[in-house]
Amino acid sequence: MNMKWLEDWFEKIEPKGKWAWLGSTYEAFHTFAFTPKTVTKSGSHIRDAVDMKRSIIIVVIALIPALLFGMWNIGYQHFLGVEGQTFDHTILECWWFGFLRMLPLIVVSYAVGLSIEFAFAQYRHHEVNEGYLATGLLIPMIVPVTTPLWQVALAVAFAVIIGKEVFGGSGMNFLNPALVARAFLFFAYPTHMSGDKVWIANDLWGSDAIAGATPMGELAAGSHPSASALDMLIGTIPGSTCETSVIAIALGAILLLMTGIASWRIMLSVFLGGGAMGLLFNAIGYNDYMQLPFYYHFLMGGFAFGAVFMATDPVTAAQTNSGKWIYGLLIGAFAVLLRVCNPAYPEGMMLSILFMNCMAPLIDHCVVSRNIKRRERRIGR
Amino acid sequence: MKNLDLIKLPFSKENPILVQVLGVCSCLAVTAQLKPAVVMALSVTVVVVLANVIISLLRNTIPPRIRIIVQLVVVSTLVVLVDQVLKAYVYDVSKQLSVFVGLIITNCIVMGRLEAFAMVQKPWASFLDGLGNGLGYSVILIALGFVRELFGSGTLWGYPVMEKLGLYGIGYENNGLMIMPPMALILVGLIIWWHRSRNKDLCEK
């Protein structure tokens, strides 16, 4: 296809004179459409096919299986709640309902987040960064479907400004912005983020919900989860919009690992850490929750989603290889620890990732200084 | 002009919270509601003004080696007096403030002004300096208390503002994060951000 006309048009509208302050916005759209013509002239630089845009877009593609399944599950849970086990709606009808429910969340997240990103980039004369394309999709995927839109907008604004821009924008943030948004909602509006009455949409609009407990909610209340392990693996359970299906998440994980966008060390060690903690609790076996088979922890709640898409965020994770192992192991262990031992927080994954985000620089510092000490010993100092 | 500066500077360029980052502990702890914030602000102002004047009067008689303990005795006496007054007249607020009234003794603003100013300045200047710093602290405390109570509990001085405006009817909800201390820290950070963007000379290189 001949795209010359678009390129000419971009050349024509390049802001000059009194519109020069719009440079960053123009540049963002221009480089979004075409490969930049400018090249680095000095200093060291690496040529690589995987640049920022491509790595972000691969994350977005990896999210699509979970997103599509999540949309279907919203509709499925809705019809199940309204009409009972015998409902007759096709897969497509379920998916369409979920799509219409998810769309406003996604639109609000992108609209609010991107306008703040553009405003900051413009004000600071930075380039607009692509990082928000992934964050903006992640936020609607990890909240309950009935979250009011104005609260989502507020959480997105909080996450982008306090979680990211005050530290200097994408790449400088020490907390995962999507989880900052979720944590904001969790602490600011707890009635919309936990309990039995937020996970299943009652109708197409509004924040009414049908009662329906997640497996974690049931466990925190002291009973055994009513869903089977297979249901949890496939994901036909109530939960945050797109976190329920471990299979769909695994598809995304395969893409992320094949392309090397996410670190396999972190992903593996999160599961190892969670499994080890689960086994430890099995050995203690003090109450029903502790006796739960360890692999249930991988299937319930946001564990798999957090391990694949949140913990592996390259900006906020540990940078050194042995640091990544420690970082991942502790995320898994803390997540299971919080789930089992703290009934006030039924889901520990969010808090444990945020906590380890804070600890990541410390881990890296220890790993690096240990390495320096080891090498000093080797040369006999 | 110099005396006027003593009052004016602590409001902006030498604000104890925004620039010197002193007294942050109490400003996170007592500002969940407006009323305790105002009472705390007044208490600290009274203590820092009186302590400044007293220490300034005594400054030539205090042996340098035991000056801290002398300052502490003066401050503790004043704080105990303030505490008794609060218990007598605003008992409910006094209970809300709990240990934080007693902790005025160790408030860095009070100790800082005594060490840095009252020990070497005349009583009138010390009085103005204490007043300026106390009020500079008060401004931030009251601003925080205002925002946190309004958005956290939907009230102001106990008056249900948000309910009277009818906002709950259209789906508005109180922000639970606002009444937690971490949000006070974030709000102080936002105020510092705004303050420094207006006073570029305060920014560290």
Residues 206-265 of A with CB under 8 A from B: 207
Is A110 contained in some domain? yes
A79 and A173 share one domain = yes
Partner A contacted by B189 (CB < 8 A)? yes
**Interchain proximity A189–B175, CB inside 8 Å:** yes
Is A40 contained in some domain? no
Quick one: pLDDT at residue B30? 87
| Separation CA B94–CA A29 (nearest Å) | 58
Quick one: pLDDT at residue A1? 60
Q: What is the mean pLDDT of residues A284-308?
A: 87
Is A41 contained in some domain? no
A10 and A93 share one domain = no
Nearest CA in chain B to A162: B186
| Separation CA A278–CA A241 (nearest Å) | 25
Q: What is the mean pLDDT of residues A284-298?
A: 84
The confidence band for A207, taking pLDDT boundaries of 50, 70 and 90, is low
**pLDDT averaged over every residue in chain A:** 86
DSSP state string for A267-309: HHHHHHHHHHHHHHHHHH--SHHHHS-TTHHHHSTTHHHIIII
Partner A contacted by B116 (CB < 8 A)? no
Quick one: pLDDT at residue A113? 93
| Separation CA B83–CA B80 (nearest Å) | 5
A18 and A141 share one domain = no
A27 and A130 share one domain = no
Give the lowest-confidence range in A18-22, B6-10, B198-202: A18-22
Of A150, A166, A189, the CB nearest to B193: A166
A264 and A135 share one domain = yes
Please give the residue that has the higher pLDDT: either B79 or A85: B79
Indicate the residue type of A192: H
Residues 81-120 of A with CB under 8 A from B: none
Give the lowest-confidence range in A22-36, A55-69, A304-318: A22-36
Quick one: pLDDT at residue A301? 82
Report whether pLDDT(A203) > 90.
no
Partner B contacted by A190 (CB < 8 A)? yes
Q: Which of B27, B24, B11, B35 is nearest to B150 (CA)?
A: B35
- Measured between beta carbons, the chain B residues lying within 8 angstroms of A184 are 177
Q: What is the mean pLDDT of residues A248-255?
A: 94
Report whether pLDDT(A26) > 60.
yes
pLDDT tens digits, A121-141: 888 877 777 788 899 999 999
Quick one: pLDDT at residue A37? 67
**Interchain proximity B176–A187, CB inside 8 Å:** yes
| Separation CA B196–CA B192 (nearest Å) | 6
Mutate to test the interface with B, among A187, A191, A351 (most CBs of B within 10 A): A187
Report whether pLDDT(A255) > 90.
yes
- Measured between beta carbons, the chain A residues lying within 8 angstroms of B186 are 162
Q: Minimal Cα–Cα distance from B135 to chain A, Å?
A: 28
Quick one: pLDDT at residue A154? 94
Q: What is the mean pLDDT of residues B105-114?
A: 87
| Separation CA B72–CA B202 (nearest Å) | 31
**Interchain proximity B171–A150, CB inside 8 Å:** yes
Q: How far is CA A176 from the centre of its chain?
A: 8
| Separation CA A217–CA A59 (nearest Å) | 29
Residues 6+ apart with CB under 8 A from B195: B12, B15, B18, B19, B202
Contact A28, A52 (CB under 8 A): no
Q: What is the mean pLDDT of residues A12-21?
A: 74
Quick one: pLDDT at residue A362? 95
- Measured between beta carbons, the chain A residues lying within 8 angstroms of B175 are 188-189
Q: What's the structural domain count of chain B?
A: 1
Q: What is the mean pLDDT of residues A192-221?
A: 77
Report whether pLDDT(B1) > 60.
no
Is A381 contained in some domain? no
Please give the residue that has the higher pLDDT: either A22 or B40: B40
ipTM of the complex as predicted: 0.86
What is the pTM for the complete model shown? Answer: 0.88
Paired tokens of B115: 């060490």
Print the domain residue range for B146: 2-202
- Measured between beta carbons, the chain A residues lying within 8 angstroms of B177 are 184, 187-188
**Interchain proximity A148–B178, CB inside 8 Å:** no
Report whether pLDDT(A325) > 70.
yes
| Separation CA A245–CA A197 (nearest Å) | 20
Is A45 contained in some domain? no
Residues 6+ apart with CB under 8 A from B33: B96, B145, B148, B149, B153, B155
A22 and A109 share one domain = no
Is A288 contained in some domain? yes
Residues 6+ apart with CB under 8 A from A188: A151, A154, A155, B175, B176, B177, B178
Partner B contacted by A269 (CB < 8 A)? no
Nearest CA in chain B to A158: B186
pLDDT tens digits, B171-200: 788 888 898 888 999 999 999 989 988 888
Residues 6+ apart with CB under 8 A from A270: A306, A307, A311, A328, A329, A331, A332, A335
Partner A contacted by B160 (CB < 8 A)? no
pLDDT tens digits, B43-62: 999 999 999 999 999 989 99
A16 and A107 share one domain = no
Q: What's the structural domain count of chain A?
A: 2
Report whether pLDDT(A206) > 90.
no
**pLDDT averaged over every residue in chain B:** 88
Give the lowest-confidence range in A45-49, A140-144, A231-235: A45-49
**Interchain proximity A189–B178, CB inside 8 Å:** no
The confidence band for A294, taking pLDDT boundaries of 50, 70 and 90, is confident
Print the domain residue range for A60: 52-374
- Measured between beta carbons, the chain B residues lying within 8 angstroms of A188 are 175-178
